[in-house]
Amino acid sequence: MKIRTKNFLYTSGIIILIVTIAFSILYLLMPNYYQMKKERELKVAIKLVVTKIEEQPTSLDSFQILSQESFYSGLTFILKDPNGKIIYPNTLQLSDAANLQQTNEVQQVEGAAILFSDLEEIATYSQTAKVNNDLQYLTYNEAFKDNQQRKYVLTVIYPLQPINEAQEVLLDIYPLVLLICFVIGAFGAYLYSYFSTKRITKISETTRQMTFSNEILANDIKGVDEISELSKDIHYLHASLVTTNEQLNQDLLIISKLENSKTEFMQMASHELKTPLTALSGIVEGMVHKVGPYQDRDKYLEVCQMLLKEQADLINDILYISKLDKIEEQKKTTFQLNELIEAELPKFESFVIKQDYHLEIALEPVKVKENPAEVQRVISNLISNAMKYTKAGGRISLTVTKGEFQIKNECEPLKEQELDQIFEAFYRPDFARNRKDGGTGLGLFIVSQLLKKNQLGYEFVPLEKGQGMVFKLFF
């Protein structure tokens, strides 16, 4: 069952229940309330009459006062002397009053007689007397003395018959009132259930749209109540899911590219390993069978040794690259950058002498806070790359200033297209396609990966006037 239907039925049922309870309370409490109200009125009326009688000089004046009050108020007054004898009215004109009052007693519910032997001890009281089993009367008695100190008892009688008729009328009109209240209440319940669930229905429709939408939907529910807050939370959740989904798609795309890159890397690595191994196998086979020039074993053993060293370097680079993603980030430490570079230079001393390079070094004492092992690998690869591509007798410059490291070398400048590819794995410029000139092709690739990992900026651009290349590393 829908909430709108439930709200309609619940609201209609509550209205019917409230009307029924209200009628029941009115039916049950009205007689008692009416009687209490009349008792208060009778007390006030009899005290007022007694006050007027006490001021009259003669009994005739008192009788006239009682006649006037009876005529205007509709009450019945009975005046008795201390012996209980009725002195007003002289003849009872009201049948009900005649039935209620006897010569020496008043008929009461309990059936007890009221004796007036000692008026000083009589207290004010009220009671209900039932006559002829049909009519109800409310009586009230007041003892007093007139201006001549004569003692009297004044009884006032008021019929309660109209209250019974009112109760019967309530029972008669109850079905009609209930029907009217039900019709009005049903209409109101329908409007309430419709408008109270309108926003919930809108939220439900929007939620279904969110299931098939990858865009953030506008929140049309305004307000500050709980339903509005629920709508805001749902839209916030959907926006978060859309953002997370977009980020996930981007991550999946990156992962897919990484997987493709790894696949391509393995294919290129296999090719780079396979080619020299094939050459090495051919040389060894020629040496075994003493074919042609391979009879000079000493010469080709040196060639084999060189090929094996290159393969060892290539395998080491490949293994290092494969561990880059798995290496836990080490805590950065502060060290002297100039001292780290000076410690690397002896490794290339023989190469500098052999190629007759002009090495210019200007290292200012600069402290940096980075991973020293990875910075050392970057510096080593950059120096090695510069020496591989610098022609014999060329100039190489190493400079350290605050926040920057530069390495310049005289070489053939790279073209724009080559600059876009120079940091890719196994890439070598057109002028260095073989291993002898271009190395393993992984040096700058490792440099770029390490710098990205450590979030260090860098720049690799040609020098002015085509004199060579400069690599700038920013700390």
What's at 190, amino acid-wise?
Answer: Y
d(CA 421, CA 429): 9
Q: Is residue 276 part of a domain?
A: no
d(CA 34, CA 193): 40
Alpha carbon 287 to its chain centroid, in Å, reads 79
| Residue pair 440/275 in contact by the 8 Å Cβ criterion | no
pTM score, two decimals? 0.47
Q: Is residue 212 part of a domain?
A: no
Q: Which two tokens stand for residue 69?
A: 């009050």
Q: Is residue 239 part of a domain?
A: no
Per-residue H/E/C for 325-357: CCCCCCCCEEEEHHHHHHHHHHHHHHHHHHHCC
List for the chain the helix, strand, coil content (%; round to 5). 60, 15, 25
Rounded alpha-carbon distances, angstroms, from residue 112 to 14, 105, 106, 107, 218: 49, 9, 8, 7, 85
Kindly report the CATH number assigned to the domain that includes residue 120: 3.30.450.20
Kindly report the CATH number assigned to the domain that includes residue 361: 3.30.565.10
Q: Is residue 425 part of a domain?
A: yes
The H or E element containing residue 90 is: none
d(CA 52, CA 75): 16
Report the relative pairing of strands 395-401 and 358-363 from DSSP bridges.
parallel
d(CA 31, CA 34): 5
Query: What sign does the dihedral 206-211-212-216 (CA atoms) show?
Result: positive
DSSP β-bridge partners for residue 363: 400
Nearest to 126 by CA among 86, 162, 154: 154
Which residues in the chain land under pLDDT 50? 91-134, 433, 435
3 state SS of 467: coil
pLDDT of residue 326: 63
Please state the length of the chain. Answer: 475
Q: Which residue has the tokens 């290129």?
A: 268
Which residues 6+ apart lie within 8 Å of 178 measured at CB? 16, 19, 20, 23
User: What burial class does residue 475 get, using C-beta atoms within 10 Å of its C-beta: 0-12 exposed, 13-18 middle, 19+ buried?
Assistant: middle
Q: Is residue 348 part of a domain?
A: yes
Which residues 6+ apart lie within 8 Å of 359 measured at CB? 352, 396, 397, 398
Quote the Cα angle for 171-174-178, to 5°.
165
| Residue pair 301/308 in contact by the 8 Å Cβ criterion | no
d(CA 397, CA 417): 25
Q: Is residue 300 part of a domain?
A: no
Q: Which two tokens stand for residue 451?
A: 């710098």
Q: What is the DSSP letter of 414?
A: P
Q: Of 167, 186, 214, which residue sits at a domain end?
A: 167
Q: Is residue 219 part of a domain?
A: no
d(CA 303, CA 293): 13
Q: Is residue 36 part of a domain?
A: yes
Domain that holds residue 448: 330-474
Q: What is the DSSP letter of 440?
A: T
Q: Of 167, 183, 214, which residue sits at a domain end?
A: 167
Average pLDDT, the chain: 77
Q: Of 111, 132, 167, which residue sits at a domain end?
A: 167
| Residue pair 97/130 in contact by the 8 Å Cβ criterion | no
d(CA 272, CA 428): 12
Which residues 6+ apart lie within 8 Å of 460 measured at CB? 419, 422, 423, 469, 470, 471, 472
d(CA 223, CA 42): 58
Nearest to 140 by CA among 214, 269, 38, 208: 38
Q: Which residue has the tokens 């402290």?
A: 367
**How many of the other CB atoms lie within 10 Å of CB of 152?**
22
Q: Give the chain's domain count.
A: 2
Which residues 6+ apart lie within 8 Å of 136 measured at CB? 128, 129, 130, 159, 160, 161, 163, 164
Which residues 6+ apart lie within 8 Å of 465 measured at CB? none
